[in-house]
Amino acid sequence: MLYPLKCKPYLRTMVWGGDKISGFKGIETDQKNIGESWELSAYPDMESTVGNGPLAGRSISSLVKEFKDELVGKHVYQESGNNFPLLFKFIDAKADLSIQVHPNDELAEKVHGKGSLGKTEMWYVIDAAPGAKLYSGLSKSVTPEEYARKVADDSITDVLASHPVHPGDVFFLPAGRIHAICSGCFVAEIQQSSDLTYRIYDYGRLGLDGKPRQLHTELAKDAIDYKVYDNYRTPYEPQENEEVELVSCKYFTTSLYELTLPYAKDLSEIDSFVAVMCLEGCGTLEVDGHEIEIGQGETVLIPATADDLCMVPDGGMKVLTTYIR
């Protein structure tokens, strides 16, 4: 019988990272320039592992292959097979990330081969330094040719929508939307399990190897959604001790819980795994009689066979839950 699995993350070195991933995780490591903690990942060579119980040390991909729909859900397994479909991260930006865009599934498969996935994602801002910002979308309309000229003359940021950010801000980023997290932002990211990123512009920065970082400005030209939208933020009303749905799309449904009291959720009709990311505080997850502690900066994978979930805060707890409808 499967039980809740606490994930041990894969730490990814990035040129814009710092000496550790976020002050709240307190991970002891000799790695430098850590920018991302891949909390729940089955992406090849960058997998998280189980950190509790008799399955400790096992990779997520090996569990999907063994337990199949018991772990991920029948409709999820029918769609994704042995490929775990989502990737959960904490991102700690000590410097600006590159201006980038992700292809959709159709373009990814056309350019990179059958089975390649695009990348739709969302951000929840956990913390932000004073004056921190990020880019999401275009602020004015440009043609593909104008876009290319602005990359060439270093003025591409002039046509990007810049957003000052504060804790609790949410951004949904469908494939095709130009974006970049900037210095001082600490975010939770939920996305398709893909690492297809077209780097458009990188401020002339050198990589950790001392060489210029590869740009994909031509590939990005076909991937970009050139439409200008009225609002790039995802609005929601915070509510204590209630489920607040933030994003629901074909790839994932994510909700926020700000809890001071226990909250029970019926999982019996959800034909999917549920991932729980703890953003603040700590508490206990009670799943079909199993109890597992969860604290700030930890992620727990609940199998699709689970029927009941009760989130019990220890004083207070803020979590995100994600599943696939």
Residues in Cβ contact with 217 at an 8 Å cutoff, skipping those fewer than 6 apart: 148, 151, 198, 200, 201
User: Rg of the chain over CA atoms, in angstroms?
Assistant: 19
**Beta strands 274-287 and 253-259, pairing class:** unpaired
Which H helix or E strand runs over 63?
helix 60-67
The first and second tokens of residue 92, run together, are 């700690």
Distance, CA of 105 to CA of 114 (rounded, Å): 10
Q: Among the options 12, 58, 149, 199, which is catalytic?
A: 199
Q: What is the DSSP string of 106-168?
A: HHHHHHH-TT-----EEEEEEEE-TT-EEEEEESS---HHHHHHHHHTT-GGGGEEEEE--TT
Q: Which residue has the tokens 């949410």?
A: 170
Catalytic, 177? Answer: no
Asked if 4 contacts 300 with a C-beta cutoff of 8 angstroms, the reply is yes
Q: What is the DSSP string of 275-301?
A: EEEEEEEEEEEEETTEEEEEETT-EEE
Question: How many other CB atoms are found less than 10 A from the CB of residue 274?
Answer: 23
The sheet carrying 160-164 orders its strands as 160-164, 133-138, 179-181, 99-101, 198-201
Residue from 143, 161, 319 nearest 242 by CA? 319
Active-site residues, by number, are 199
